[in-house]
Amino acid sequence: MRNSTAAGAPAGRSPQPSRNPLRRLLAVLGPGLMMAGAAIGVSHLVQSTRAGADYGFTLMWVILLANVLKYPFFEYGHRFTAATGQNLLEGYLRQGRWVLGLFFALNLVTAVTSIAGVTFVTAALAENLFGFGFSNAVWSAGLLLFCVALTVLGHYRYVEGAIKAMLAVLFFATVSATLAAAIKGPVAAPGTPVPALSIAFLVALLGWMPAPIEVSVWNSLWVQAKERALGRRISLAEARWDFNLGYVLTILLALIFTALGALVMFGSGESLSGNASVFSKQLVQLYGATLGELWMPVVAAAAFSAMLSTVLTVVEAYPRSLAEALHLLAPGLRIRHHAHHSLWMVGTSLLGWLIVQAFLDDLTRLIDLVTSIAFLSAPVFAVMNYRLIFSDQVGAEARPGLALRLLSWAGILFLAGFSLFFLYSRYFAA
């Protein structure tokens, strides 16, 4: 049953939702699109493009499969909050302190490494766009300071509109570039051999495709925030509509970025560089090769904005989930939420910058490490969300049906089985 007094539910006012079905659906849009915006980062700009450039179209089915198999565990973040009024962290705690404690420990590792990965890519794009001659270390430090300050001071809303506009530019530029490349035809000659697939790259590709599974916690927090903004509860049907729209967009964009890399770079004799500066130039040149060089500065600005949006999101959302989890684990902690959140932002950003320092000359190795950690932790987060959505905290009418339950089992088996296979092939195989 839905708990009308649960944490995060709006109180004091209950305006009637619009009777117009279209207006009602448009009003609840937000959390799902925020997830789509967060996903258009390393997994799409870097890993999907790299998959197409190195392996042509052969990995598109893998990308599609990964998105489908991970779908239930992201959807459960929306579903749980719409059904109970609580966020996933509160649900984990009610299952046992050890469950929330496990989330906290794993999330701390993925938070630091994720912040490092997205910041490094954004730093490279920034230097390519502005050309100030700064090192990646300096750019990374500046970007992290900017994002932390913007969030702590509450000024994110002033740049949010501009970033959304640039995301739209990147979306249309990518679609246009891919269509233009498809009309011209692929660079690769018919019968161009596909290199042997690297298991390490496959794990790295799937790790953030479309995003780390712990992002489902952000979804549940965003749904709560949306309910407070609307002044009413969001129905399960509305929550699923919002989530599904955003999720479909992330899948389409991942496939489009892969196609762009496959059409323009695969078989050209050139591969995407592991050097951050060279990689950022190659990425922008993909668009110039199809749309013309006049588009390159526009695309560079749009790509940088997309990655800046991702950095802002991870710098804000990972520490928020850590602060919320610690407050639930230690209710006697005498520190205001805003100050606690700010401390976590500073701490995780500093640790992320130190990781960037350790990988300054090898973007590829850093991204592979970060996404591999995300993939190896994915089965744990998946099982946590599955156990929660089928617990007695969720009424029978709001639980997933048989199809989604079967898809969940398939996803857990795939994530766990492939993780074990990767660990065996990496450390135990002769």
pLDDT 10s digits, 298-346: 888 878 888 888 888 889 889 999 999 999 998 887 788 888 888 999 9
Find, among 257, 119, 261, the residue nearest to 188 by Cα: 261
Enumerate long-range contacts of 9-12, CB under 8 Å, 24 or more apart. 9/85, 9/224, 9/227, 9/233, 10/227, 10/228, 10/230, 10/231, 10/232, 10/233
Cα–Cα distance measured from residue 62 to residue 40, given in angstroms and rounded to the nearest whole number:
18
Q: Is 17 exposed, middle or buried (0-12, 13-18, 19+ CB in 10 A)?
A: middle
Find, among 370, 372, 371, 362, the residue nearest to 276 by Cα: 362
Find, among 346, 330, 329, 350, the residue nearest to 338 by Cα: 346
**Structure confidence at residue 19 (pLDDT):** 60
Residue positions counted in the chain: 430
Find, among 113, 72, 111, the residue nearest to 359 by Cα: 113
**Structure confidence at residue 80 (pLDDT):** 93
Cα–Cα distance measured from residue 393 to residue 3, given in angstroms and rounded to the nearest whole number:
9
Cα 392 to Cα 217, 231, 397, distances in angstroms = 19, 27, 12
Which residues 6+ apart lie within 8 Å of 375 measured at CB? 203, 204, 206, 207, 415, 418, 419, 422
What residue ranges of the chain have pLDDT lower than 70?
A: 1-30, 155-164, 166, 429-430
Tell me if 271 sits within 8 A of 251, measured CB to CB.
no
Find, among 399, 335, 384, the residue nearest to 73 by Cα: 384
Domains and their CATH numbers in the chain: 29-427 (1.20.1740.10)
**Structure confidence at residue 347 (pLDDT):** 95
Cα–Cα distance measured from residue 8 to residue 426, given in angstroms and rounded to the nearest whole number:
44
* Count of Cβ atoms closer than 10 Å to residue 405 Cβ: 15
Q: What Rg value do the Cα atoms of the chain yield, rounded?
A: 21
Which residues 6+ apart lie within 8 Å of 132 measured at CB? none
- The amino acid sitting at 296 is M
Tell me if 213 sits within 8 A of 385, measured CB to CB.
yes
pTM: 0.84
**Structure confidence at residue 25 (pLDDT):** 59
Find, among 306, 255, 261, the residue nearest to 287 by Cα: 261
CA 19 to chain centre: 34
**Structure confidence at residue 72 (pLDDT):** 95
